Chains A and B, each alone.
Chain A
């Protein structure tokens, strides 16, 4: 009960913040919410199932282009395009998983990294269609919800998407499947001995992770009007890992906390120095030294043991 109360309360606070923050921070919050959906997806694979992927940029970019290409070339309306992006993320994750999940550990990292790199080069190769490194401009975000201004439409979609992602991930990790994921993370051999088809479960986790990532990619492209191959670069595989590590791997709210903290760390550090990545690096080193389980992971360990 208190678990659901906490999460619903968080959503209520976010709604109030979106409505009351000054424009700059409100738009930032919309960005953070969409990127947090990406982190939630990453967390399902990494935090709950123990699949350390370096290829999630591929699933994010699948969402970006799964939405952008049908809009640009088929004139698909934006909301169906959002669904198309979500499905593209899941599909690409499924195909990648079928091949990459034959490996584990470091090999899995390398294979997923190669897949993502191949995806990036494919986007460049088909530059005349995808816009390549320059990218494509998409219609105004206001077209998403006719009748509303672009800012309101953006905030509404970002909030709705994040709420759906947060609540579904909460339900998921509390379900039988969620517990099986954790079992596999803790001891895959034992799970197999207990009769679980661990390959099928891991593939399911990766597809779900891809669906979240794809939805986030599609939403990011639609809400901010731009699709480009830079979303498929290695940077976008590493970022969700950092967000999850900072917020707390294997916690439901961790991705949101980590994404927000990292976003503002870069934003604020950027006002003082060009070495923003140094700030990020120092923050991560401190985190590993003093709170290796991330912000919420540490809180759960010390105080709130019931945190999902």
Chain B
């Protein structure tokens, strides 16, 4: 046996030769010696956000592949470190810590649920690491968070809700009853939609808040005033199936008001599911049409194929695995903004994080295309919030077909904050 502690000249030479061969054979040339840019992804892999998390991860992987195939960012390859936050604000803050301090990520992106974002953003601000959220919440533009937190990938709920009011009052009716969950997410709908309907000459005649612990809704349905012309509903979680079924039982085959809902209720749920027949002929807000429309752009087709979603909005490998299509594009588009921002800032490493934030703040418009398959957008660098088109779809034959597209201005509102004047 060769003595490894005091090797002979022959074994040394052999070893050196093998080492040279190995280093020549290893495929390290594609990226030269450049270290990868590391992006942290705060992922709802478990907990109540898991259905979203599953698709957010797939979307991120697909977007990452596109970015790397096109040469990475600033000539460097990009990698994403995923870390589960259990959709919990306490764990969320710990995950920010882990991605920033232990994994050494350049920035963090990806969370959807508001409480996770609000629980984590203070720590991201303290660590001075860019934190790009995909959460829809009005908490970014309201000024509640900090200069390091931005939302360049998805329109916030205030804008979404407000932009629905003109079409709803003109086409469905002016007397609206709202049914919404009795917590913060529901209040955003209540407050902003009520205000927007009023501005359109309509009126919200009843607001029915459903406590989060309810599993049956029969005792709330009689509270819907008979003169209601439009029933506006937004429910979250499995309760929506019960809600729709009980609503169907309540109205029977008789006359019913027009019904308008937010797709949040039915993300990752097949609209043709048994029990949802009552939804036929009702309308939904969508941020991104789940069913591929006849006029779909080339970018839309490319995106749909890249994330593995079929024309009906389900996974290409499993038709029962319905996508969270109205939200997950935000991950793709956020990565596009990260790439643009890092290139504009000449980003080299963590010392350039501030330059990156400033570069994103300087952005104003995003053109529709492969980087932004959901459509064109306007970015407000002061409020760190992006604004895009919204869609209204009608359920026809169990499928969501688009009947209206809003203008970007329909959702814009006065600035409540100017983050760009805050110190880093």
Contact = CB atoms under 8 A, between A and B. Distances in A.
B46 A132 contact: no
B229 interface: no
Contact of A134 (B83, B84, B184): B184
B94 A121 contact: no
A24 B101 CA distance: 5
Contacts of B123: 224-225
B182 interface: yes
A231 B97 contact: no
B184 A140 contact: no
Interface stretch (B111-119, B193-201, B250-258): B111-119
B122 A132 contact: no
A230 B115 contact: yes
Contacts, number: 92
The SS class assigned to the A binding surface is helix
A138 B184 contact: no
Interface size on B, as a range, is: 35 or more
B382 interface: no
Nearest to B101: A24
B114 A134 contact: yes
Give the residue among B88, B98, B118, B211 with the most A Cβ atoms within 10 A.
B118
B89 A124 contact: no
Interface string B117-145: 01101110110000000000101000011
Interface of B is mostly: helix
A270 B83 contact: yes
Given A24-B97, A127-B187, A133 B122 contact: no
Contact of B122 (A226, A230, A274): A226
B45 interface: yes
A70 interface: no
A178 interface: no
A23 B187 CA distance: 39
Nearest to A22: B101
Interface string A263-281: 0000100100010100000
B93 interface: yes
Interface string A70-90: 000000000000000000000
Contact of B183 (A132, A138, A226): A132
Contacts of B126: 140-142, 150, 225
B94 A28 contact: yes
Given A150-B126, A228-B118, A137 B144 contact: yes
A121 B211 contact: yes
B6 interface: no
A133 B183 contact: yes
A274 B84 contact: yes
Contacts of B404: none
Contact of A231 (B84, B90, B98, B125): B90
A22 B98 CA distance: 12
Given A134-B137, A150-B126, 15 more contacts: A23-B101, A27-B101, A28-B97, A132-B187, A133-B183, A133-B212, A134-B183, A135-B119, A137-B121, A224-B93, A224-B122, A224-B123, A225-B126, A228-B89, A231-B90
20 contacts: A24-B97, A24-B98, A24-B102, A127-B183, A132-B187, A133-B115, A133-B184, A134-B183, A134-B185, A135-B118, A136-B118, A150-B126, A224-B123, A226-B93, A226-B119, A228-B119, A270-B83, A270-B84, A274-B84, A276-B46
Interface of A: 22-24, 27-28, 31, 121, 124-125, 127-128, 131-138, 140-142, 150, 224-226, 228, 230-231, 267, 270, 274, 276
Q: Please name the 7 residue pairs, one residue from A and one from B, whose CB atoms are nearest each other, closest first.
A: A225-B122, A24-B101, A134-B184, A24-B102, A226-B119, A132-B184, A23-B101
